[in-house]
Chains A and B, each alone.
Chain A
Amino acid sequence: MKFAYLLSGGSPVIKKYKASAAQAIGTIVLRSAADDPGQFTTSTTGGFGNSLGLCVDNGIASGAPLTYSTTQGADEAVFGIVVNPDAVLRAKMVTGATGTSITADTVATPVSNGLTVVGGTSVASPDMDEGVIWFTSGSNVGKSRKITSTSSVTATVKVPFPYASAVGDTFCYAGVNIGLTGVTTTTDLKNIRADLAVTTGGAATVIDLELGPATDSWVHLVLADQVFTMST
């Protein structure tokens, strides 16, 4: 996960906070709980509640991981955090807990009116309804639509794709969409899973999508439960 820009167009605010445990670069960190040893703690794959921001530091000292330590004289585990509540984070869309390419499906049944896309993998379980679907080859290459309903291997859209789909056209789909809150990260907390139903997971809201090939599609997020918004 990378810091991309700010909604307000201002300057990033970098704070250096004390960690409660080993911390990975490019991950969302949370306000520490009561009795935690440090000031922030690690997020979970589906939990960004009371988030502080994005960790932009690497926990390495002299080539060895720098971890939280209670040993007197050890390096204090302090990390730089971008704390702006309106920071936009860019993360790659992936599939599965460990993060492989998103599903690249192929049209199995041609549809002339462009209102449905019939592929070979299920879009109903997990349900991609309200997510997004886009073509990566064929006449509709580069065109995307919001999914309005699903049934087995068929995704339905209300604004038709401009051209008829043909057997063999490739397309991708994702369980994320603009303005929807709830995403799930991979276990390394760096990428966003597109294979889960929309609004599944932690409190982050999608602000933009970069829809490309299965290996190179991205989502832009804003943290939806950030402690410095003063709402939590």
Chain B
Amino acid sequence: MSHVLIKKEWTRDSILAAHEAGGRKRGRAAGGWIDDIAAQKKVITLCPLCTGKFNPGRVNYRKEKEFPFCVAKCDGCSITDPKCSMYIYDELYTQVRSTAEERREWARRQQEGIRRGSL
């Protein structure tokens, strides 16, 4: 019996993909799967085609707007897309994201403190 050996060219993307969790199981409806992820307060990433079908406010999620896109596997259709939208559970947002607005507010407080003479 003979075997044909085919050399696989691993790229950085394919190494990442090989390590990634499987995601939605075959036959599972996307809506139910995303509901389950939302119940666990996990980050949800959706491709441009799926993102319009998700209402983040209904499940207390917040869309990441400072980064309009992220590279991720869509939780709806399981396609890796460089233009996914990222949704973070609202109560957890400030624990994982430091936005320019937050840093701007910090700088404003420092300026006020310097004017007062004490930070």
Contacts and interface: CB of A to CB of B under 8 A. Distances in A.
B96 A25 contact: yes
Interface residues of A, number: 44
Contacts of A218: 106
A145 interface: no
Contacts of B114: 141-142
Interface residues of B, number: 40
A163 B12 CA distance: 53
A66 B40 contact: yes
A164 interface: no
B118 to A, nearest CB: 4
B92 interface: yes
Contacts of A62: 39-40
Interface in B77-118: 82, 84, 86, 88-89, 92, 94-98, 100, 103, 106-107, 109-110, 113-114, 117-118
A62 B109 CA distance: 38
Interface in B8-30: 12, 16, 19-21, 23
Given A18-B21, A218-B106, A228-B16, A2 B119 contact: no
Contacts of B43: 14, 56-57, 80
Interface centre among A3, A14, A136 (most CB of B within 10 A): A14
A90 interface: yes
Contacts of B110: 142, 210, 212
Q: Chain B: interface secondary structure? A: mixed
Contacts of A79: 42
Interface of B: 12, 16, 19-21, 23, 39-43, 45, 67, 69-73, 82, 84, 86, 88-89, 92, 94-98, 100, 103, 106-107, 109-110, 113-114, 117-119
Closest 5 CB pairs of A and B: A80-B43, A90-B98, A2-B98, A137-B118, A136-B119
Interface of A: 2-5, 11-18, 25-26, 39, 54, 56-62, 66, 75-76, 78-80, 83, 90, 136-138, 141-142, 170, 210, 212-213, 216, 218, 228, 230
Given A14-B45, A16-B23, A78-B21, 12 more contacts: A2-B98, A11-B71, A14-B84, A56-B96, A60-B40, A61-B40, A137-B118, A137-B119, A141-B118, A142-B119, A212-B106, A216-B106
